[in-house]
Homo-oligomer: A and B are copies of this chain.
Amino acid sequence: MYGRYTQELGVYAKEEAARLRDGGVRDGGGLRRNTSVRSRAADLLEYEKDPCAKCHLCASRCQKFLISRVGEDWIFLILLGLLMALVSWVMDYAIAFCQEAQNWMYGGLDSNLLLQYIAWVTYPVVLITFSAGFTQILAPQAVGSGIPEMKTILRGVVLKEYLTFKTFVAKVIGLTCALGSGMPLGKEGPFVHVASLCAALLSKFMAALFGGIFMNELRNTEMLSAACAVGVGCCFAAPIGGVLFSIEVTSTFFAVRNYWRGFFAATFSAFIFRVLAVWNQEEETITALFKTRFRLDFPFDLQELPAFAILGIACGFGGALFVYLNRLIVECMRKQKTINKFLLRKRLVYPALVTLLVSTLTFPPGFGQFMAGQLTQHESLVALFDNRTWCRQGVAEEFDYISHHHAWKHPQVNVFITLILFIIMKFWMSAVATTMPVPCGAFMPVFLIGAGFGRLVGEIMAAMFPDGIHADGSVYPIVPGGYAVVGAAALSGAVTHTVSTAVIVFELTGQISHILPVMIAVILANAVAQSLQPSLYDSIIRIKKLPYLPELGMGHHEKYNIRVEDIMVRDVRFITLNSSYRELQEMLLTGQLKTLALVESRDSMILLGSIERLQLQSLLSLQLGRKRRLEYLRQLAQDNGTQDHLPSLTTDSTPSVRGRHGGAGLGRSEARTKQEMYENERLKCRVYTFSVVSSVSLQIGEWEEQQLDEPVDFKNCKIDPAPFQLVEQTSLHKTHTIFSLLGLDHAYVTSMGRLVGVVSLKELRKAIEGSVTVTGVKVRPPLASFRDCGNSTSVSEVTELHKLCIRHRGLSLPRETFCLCDIFLYCQQIP
């Protein structure tokens, strides 16, 4: 924080002098003023000593000159888009290759059912086990979707290990294997994480190359939010939907000025992603991923809207059920202690078992024949979005034109039964599969289930109204594919609590003709799901116990009437400007707060700022620390002539030790005599030391007491001079807004400058939803992203301080031990 000035030193010094002059006239109160000036002067000195700071200055100048004109944001975004498109395309290619390999193996062994079964089952089990193992070994943070973590990170919490190169490798390879296995897993969520990883790594790389700007924390956050958009955008080739989805899923407040970044990067990424497909001759030109061919002139009848609405509401319930089921499975396994223990020991057993179960059930000659088990997600979706009806008046039509028709058309079983089985089986399979410890998302499986459900409703409608509903003149048959699109958007919207799935389906299918049914269904599904369950990502956040702030739900208007004074903690822990070190120590020993308020005095209670716990610990250890102890001891020795005793003690003992080593070459008896002598000497030494120590330790104890009674010197302490303040009358709603806007952890409640209370995330959370406690995750200090002025110094400074504290162990060791240690240390120093 300190030691970094963008102005030239000379200019700064002049200004400071002028300010001093002015200040002397204008404000008479010298003490505080001087303190601040002194600390700034100290900073200046520090600054001059710090070579890094100078480098930083140079680097920033160079960077200005070099990059600012080229538009470093554009370059960064283009690079990010390009990289992600490549990753996405290569991954898709690898996944397709994996699935083809499985099909080839499965198809080649069609003479023997058992061999075929073994081939069908072994392949995914091996892939998933490898994925789980690889991820576990390299970076366990890569497990799961990544969207909950990104949401937490973008809220301002530091989850450092989630954005490392290791995690990137683990995520990409693990995800490829997991998706290649053909399990009902998704690519979207992990891709958001991969894109963020990519952005973070690219930032680091650019910072190493060009410095300056690329180290700015705020900017990195902006880039991370753009990266989330890129993740979704290049996964589905859906730039608009990607931007909106990422905003809805990861942000609480969105800065519109970052909007273009997301759009630009996502569009570029989606463009490259699709161009690669054209270049590889998979496609003739750039089109949608799941292109549909619904008729344009009469996409749906007005009288079909109730069916769409019902579909939306049903999807809402289904989405809530999915989230509930997913959480239930995780919680069940956690609560069952035997299972939990077993799984913790053998981490690969669970994914292998789940994969075995799922692939057994989808085995095409077995149960899989009734649920289109043979098809991949992509093939199923293409079939479900088909624009023709599969059955008319209850009788299955010949639909040979679909490439994978045989999967859906079972000779004995109705299409409806196949669809229902498909939906039910996929539903629980997806809920179970997404709990496996591999990198995987749930969006795509849910999307597929939604499409299936929509298709079912559509087919039922088509069976009920074979000639369509439209009354006047021309016959417009019902398009079940439209229902599939609506269902997919509604169910995925319900599970993720987003509206932008609507846009994603338009971009995925390349048709926007069903916009109103889709919007209506998605909104209804959201309304139902949001009133029943949290979103899947929020559910995972709660399961993983990440720090979060619950949303103020729809229509909770009592929130407007609760005030801060109703929820604040009135017994605030604070220190005053004239506190003694003893008070500080007591405060640190009794409380566990991360920051303490600094007030002017116990009488006035005027809030001056807040200090981090670590800062206070280092203050205390500076006062009672080794250096000052040694100084005191030296002074003590000089004053009382203790120095005579101590050197004699050390000279007595050290030669004997040396003698012991030196006597290695002597005879045995001589050695034994030496040994005895040494033992005697040691005994003497111990007794002597003890007597000296006991007398010295008394003096040290006195000295300590004396030191503790001194007032705290805040000169060397980093104080946040303007912690966020609320007033007692602030409503809960506004408090929530401010907390989520600024990513606060806590805020002080003041009344005319006097500290009257404190509100933290915990109280806010309790007030909003009940009592949930979060532990074990480091939350950034309040307003960290706004108050830090260095780029990444504050974090490293704190780490340094922390190291210092650990080295001193000023607070964790009992005091007596501390004294003895010091004396011995002192003894060893004297030659």
* Residue ranges of A at the interface with B (Cβ–Cβ < 8 Å): 1, 6-7, 19, 22, 26-29, 32-33, 35-36, 60, 64, 68, 71-74, 212-213, 216, 218-219, 239-240, 244, 247-248, 251-257, 259-260, 263-264, 267, 270-271, 274-275, 278, 284-288, 291, 293, 296-302, 470, 472, 499, 502-503, 506-507, 510-513, 515-516, 519-520, 523, 526, 551-552, 554-555, 557-558, 560-563, 566, 570, 600-609, 719-722, 725-727, 729-731, 733-734, 737-738, 741-742, 750-754, 785-787, 789
Contacts and interface: CB of A to CB of B under 8 A. Distances in A.
B506 A512 contact: yes
A513 B616 CA distance: 61
Contact of A523 (B263, B296, B472, B562): B263
A165 B516 CA distance: 32
B751 A721 contact: yes
A236 B733 CA distance: 34
A260 B523 contact: yes
A763 B140 CA distance: 49
A259 B753 contact: no
B287 A291 contact: no
B287 A301 contact: no
B36 A751 contact: yes
Contacts of A750: 721-722
B719 A752 contact: yes
Nearest to A556: B68
Contacts of A730: 786-787, 789
Contacts of A608: 606, 752-753
Contact of A607 (B216, B274, B753, B787): B753
A555 B73 contact: yes
Nearest to A1: B729
Contacts of A727: 720-722, 787
A280 to B, nearest CB: 13
Given A296-B293, A752-B608, A733 B218 contact: yes
Given A253-B741, A287-B513, A512-B512, 10 more contacts: A1-B729, A6-B563, A22-B570, A27-B605, A29-B601, A60-B561, A218-B560, A240-B503, A600-B753, A730-B789
28 contacts: A27-B605, A29-B603, A29-B605, A32-B752, A36-B751, A64-B557, A72-B557, A213-B557, A240-B502, A240-B519, A248-B259, A253-B253, A253-B255, A253-B256, A254-B254, A257-B551, A260-B499, A284-B470, A285-B300, A286-B302, A296-B510, A511-B512, A719-B752, A721-B750, A725-B725, A727-B787, A729-B787, A741-B741
Contact of A278 (B302, B560, B603, B789): B302
Contacts of A254: 253-256
Given A240-B519, A789-B563, A298 B285 contact: yes
Contacts of A252: 255-257
A92 to B, nearest CB: 18
Nearest to A508: B512
A369 to B, nearest CB: 33
Given A36-B751, A730-B786, A512 B507 contact: yes
A314 B498 CA distance: 36
A821 to B, nearest CB: 36
Copies in the complex: 2
Contacts of A35: 752
Contact of A499 (B248, B263, B609): B263
A263 B512 contact: no
Contacts of A604: 29, 32
Nearest to A748: B722
Which of A28, A252, A603, A720 neighbours the largest number of chain B CB atoms within 10 Å of its CB? A603
Contact of A555 (B22, B74, B286, B737): B74
Given A68-B558, A513-B287, A725-B722, A256 B248 contact: yes
A297 B499 CA distance: 28
Contacts of A219: 557, 560
Contacts of A731: 789
* Among A1, A213, A297, A729: residue with most chain B CB under 10 A: A729
A344 B542 CA distance: 64
B507 A737 contact: no
A512 to B, nearest CB: 4
B558 A64 contact: yes
A67 to B, nearest CB: 8
A738 B551 CA distance: 21
Contacts of A552: 257
A189 to B, nearest CB: 18
A274 B516 contact: yes
A475 to B, nearest CB: 13
A255 B256 CA distance: 10
A722 B251 CA distance: 27
A520 B786 contact: no
Nearest to A248: B256
A294 B652 CA distance: 98
Contacts of A523: 260, 263-264, 267
Closest 10 A/B residue pairs (Cβ): A29-B603, A729-B789, A608-B753, A722-B725, A267-B519, A512-B512, A6-B561, A213-B557, A263-B499, A254-B254
A29 B601 CA distance: 10
A301 B286 CA distance: 8
Contacts of A285: 298-302, 470
Nearest to A72: B555
